[in-house]
Amino acid sequence: MATASVAFKSREDHRKQLELEEARKAGLAPAEVDEDGKEINPHIPQYMSSAPWYLNAERPSLKHQRKWKSDPNYTKSWYDRGAKIFQAEKYRKGACENCGAMTHDAKSCMERPRKKGAKWTSMHIAPDEKIETFELDYDGKRDRWNGYDASTYARVIERYEARDEARRKYLKEQQLKKLEEKNSKNDGEGGEVSDEDEDDDEDALKVDEAKVDESKQMDFAKVEKRVRTTGGGSTGTVRNLRIREDTAKYLLNLDVNSAYYDPKTRSMREDPLPDADPNEKFYGGDNQYRQSGQALEFKQLNIHAWEAFDKGQDVHMQAAPSQAELLFRNYKVIKEKLKTKTKDTIMEKYGNAATEEDIPMELLLGQSERQVEYDRAGRIIKGMETSLPKSKYEEDVFINNHTTVWGSWWMDHQWGYKCCKQTIRNSYCTGAAGIEAAEAATDLMKSNIARKASEDAPAPPAEEKKHVTWGTDVPEDLVLDEKRLTEALKKEDEKRREEKDERKRKYNVRWNDEVTAEEMEAYRMKRVHHDDPMKDFLN
């Protein structure tokens, strides 16, 4: 907003006007009012009739330009740590039962639990803590360093300074020790220290500037290459080791049918000049590098890692290359030891024909002191008895006083010793007495088995005596009571009527297992004979 300049008659009038405005701001001079009695704002030009809504010189005029949510109750102070307000001399009602402070209870007491609390002893009453309550604003609640005392960091600095001081002291002691050893050594050799040794020590501390300059010149030409991106990204410096005077591999042989050159990967696997002298060739194809030197070792390392993984080893060449290389080294060492051990074993058993040891004359001439007699047919009569073949197992070894070997006796599908006829491998030999005792025990056991079998033999089955009333054949001499038979016939008729009509059947049915001869005779007389052709005319 442009303001109009006010014209003054002189420089003195301008100065007086400025002093008056300063006095009004300080409250030392009455404010200037207009015709309506309203106070005139000195920051508003006199030609403006009233101040606009957005202009207020006393405070920020717009709402978003001031902290309109600020509360004067908010504070940025923090708790006074460790402050105490009152020290009581005796226990007060409602105080902590452990220490005696009024500001907390026994459950939240931070002192060590006493054997007898202050409530019962009224001694060593703890002072009351200073309890403060703050109403923090938004920033105060989220301030990480609120209440932090910067002076506490001095302890950290002191600890590090003490560590550095101890390190310097230790290094100084080591230097003094080395100097004493050097002086004692020089004193033993005559006490003379050559100037050449001092010059060597000084030269060892200096850096060879010539080597530094030479290393700077070894950079050749640096090539910037894009890494892992198509259009851009991080770059890496790759040193180009090819000298400009070298002939490119695709120019070594211009024949069209010579080794193929791949321009994308810049590789030529075959030898471009296979007929040239190997001593004069500088380049023999990429396969030459792949099949020689460390490339071949790396290939073997990869193959070993694959085979080890297939056999159950937890090894991966890309995930843990150091582990794979260490495993491959151990494998080569163990393989070499095994090969050497096998070779030594074979040479120890069969000998080494390449050695310089002289062969005995007995073997060269085939002569010996053994006398052999032959007959006219060429058969051996005396002197060279045929030796029995030996096995790898021990033979004719008798243990536990046995006179025969294990397996010399067989009985009931069990091996044993023939001398004592025992079938237990680690048994002690008992001889003929043991055999007699075993036979006597066997005979006794057989007799006991036979006696037990005779005792346990089942008794002959007893004849079952059936009651005459249940049988099918009624004896002729059976005498029945006519009165009881008549009652039994009536009961049988009632029973059959109940079976025909379910309504007449009683709810509680009683069953009687005792059957008399008359009841059995009534049952036979009333029974329906299904094979009787006249059964339908009985009733």
pLDDT digit string, tens, across residues 152-185 = 899 999 999 999 999 999 999 999 999 999 888 8
The Cβ of residue 100 has, within 10 Å, a number of other Cβ atoms equal to: 26
* pLDDT for 342 beyond 90: yes
Q: Which residue has the higher pLDDT, 505 or 281?
A: 281
**Coil, strand or helix at 189:** helix
Query: Which whole number is the average pLDDT over 359-378?
Result: 76
Percent of the chain surpassing pLDDT 70: 69
Considering only 60-64, 102-106, 231-235, 432-436, which range has the smallest mean pLDDT?
231-235
113 within 8 A of 99, measured Cβ to Cβ: no
478: CB partners within 8 A, 6+ apart: 468, 517
* pLDDT for 270 beyond 70: yes
Query: pLDDT averaged over the chain?
Result: 77
* pLDDT for 449 beyond 80: yes
Per-residue pLDDT tens over the stretch 9-53: 566 776 777 777 776 666 655 555 555 555 555 554 444 445 566
126 within 8 A of 118, measured Cβ to Cβ: yes
Contacts within 8 Å (CB) and 24+ apart, 16-24: none
* pLDDT for 303 beyond 90: yes
Look at residue 217 in the predicted model and tell me its pLDDT: 47
Cα separation values, 69 from 53, 54, 80, 136, 425, Å: 21, 19, 28, 13, 103
* pLDDT for 346 beyond 60: yes
319 within 8 A of 305, measured Cβ to Cβ: no
Q: Report the length, in residues, of the chain.
A: 539
Look at residue 128 in the predicted model and tell me its pLDDT: 94
23 within 8 A of 29, measured Cβ to Cβ: yes
Distance CA 177, CA 170 (A): 11
According to the per-residue pLDDT averaged within each range, which of 271-275, 378-382, 394-398 is highest?
271-275
Per-residue pLDDT tens over the stretch 97-151: 999 999 999 999 999 999 999 999 999 999 999 988 888 888 888 888 888 888 8
* pLDDT for 289 beyond 50: yes
Look at residue 115 in the predicted model and tell me its pLDDT: 94
Query: Which whole number is the average pLDDT over 490-499?
Result: 82
Q: Which residue has the higher pLDDT, 277 or 473?
A: 277
Maximum pairwise Cα distance, the chain:
179
Distance CA 177, CA 484 (A): 140
According to the per-residue pLDDT averaged within each range, which of 38-47, 255-264, 467-476 is highest?
255-264
Dihedral sign (CA 292, 297, 299, 300): positive
**Coil, strand or helix at 330:** helix
Q: Are strands 380-382 and 84-86 parallel, antiparallel or unpaired?
A: unpaired
* pLDDT for 215 beyond 80: no
